[in-house]
Structure 1
Amino acid sequence: MLLRKRQHDFKRERLGGATVEFALCLPLMIMLVFGSMEASNALFLRQGLSIAAYEAAQVATQSGMAAAAAEARAQEVLDARNIAGYAVTISPQVTATTSPGTTVTVTVTAPIDANSLGPSWYFTNSVIRSTVTMRRL
């Protein structure tokens, strides 16, 4: 009878140990999962900014095109990807008469906070920037 009682107590102690391990590991696992989601979201944001900058640079460097058309193309790409709080900068200011061979730089920036999936604990006050440089045709 004494042997049965000791076996039963041993199982109870093991259950308590598993509960403590679970309580210690669960917050770390949750942080790891949400951190991975936020990092993936930041990579998606960076890719979207790169695509928008490339598309705007292609429009800005076409013969006869102006900066307004390039900015509109960047906005179209960014809106399609639901990117918020972005800014598009084209340098130098491109007009329809800008000479061929001029180097045009398009920079697109967006804050990670405005494009986060949840509370911004991981990338507070961070901004992602993408720059593309092309020669005007």
Structure 2
Amino acid sequence: MKYRTQSRGVAVLELAICLPILLTLTFATIEVCTMLHLRQKIKVAAYEGARVGITPESTSSKVSYHCETLLDSQSVYGYTISMQPSNPKDLQEGDYFRVTVDAAFAPNSLVGDWIYSSKTLSETVSLKAE
């Protein structure tokens, strides 16, 4: 009977030591996967914005609207959109148009901002004007 009580005590001690480590690793893995998914969302938005921007008669408001619509539909929060040049009407055929989308990770996190609280993801896409 004494052996069984000691065995339970060891099991409780192992659980007390291992459970926080396993939970931390699980939540960290979830956060990394969330970050990769967020990076892909903003990359797609930047690409689609650049595609709109290189078409003839495009405006910066059309590019911003297109990016914002995509990001909002994907539930991305805390983003900024920038373009180079700032007005796509200034593009000549063969010029590059660059769209950059930045998104803070904290408002887009699943388990809170305790791992990557100050991380900002940025994706840039450059396309040649038609």
TM-score, normalised to structure 2's length? 0.95
CA contact (8 A) 1:83 1:115 kept: yes
* Mean Cα deviation higher: 114-123 or 78-87: 114-123
User: Over aligned residue pairs, what C-alpha RMSD do you find?
Assistant: 1.1
Q: Indicate conservation of the 8 Å contact 1:92/1:105, yes or no.
A: yes
Kept in 2: contact 1:64–1:97 (CA 8 A): no
1:1-137 equivalences under 5 Å are 8-96=1-89, 98-137=91-130
Code of the aligned partner of 2:126: T
Q: What is the percentage of aligned positions where both structures have the same residue? A: 28
Q: Which amino acid aligns with 1:103?
A: Y
Q: What is the CA distance between 1:97 and its match in structure 2?
A: 5.2
Asked whether the equivalents of residues 99 and 136 of structure 1 are also in contact (C-alpha less than 8 Å), the reply is yes
Gaps of 5+ in 1: 1-7
Would the aligned equivalents of 1:63 and 1:100 in 2 still touch at CA under 8 Å?
no
C-alpha spacing 1:130/1:97, structure 2 compared with 1 (3 Å)? closer
Q: Secondary structure at the match of 2:89?
A: coil
Name the TM-score, length of structure 1 as normaliser.
0.90
CA distance in 2, matches of 1:95, 1:44: 29
Mean CA deviation greater in 39-48 or 116-125: 116-125
Runs of 4+ in 1 over 2 A off after TM superposition: 94-98
Letter in 2 for 1:69: K
Count of matched residue positions in the alignment of Structure 1 and Structure 2: 130
CA contact (8 A) 1:50 1:130 kept: yes
Larger radius of gyration: 1
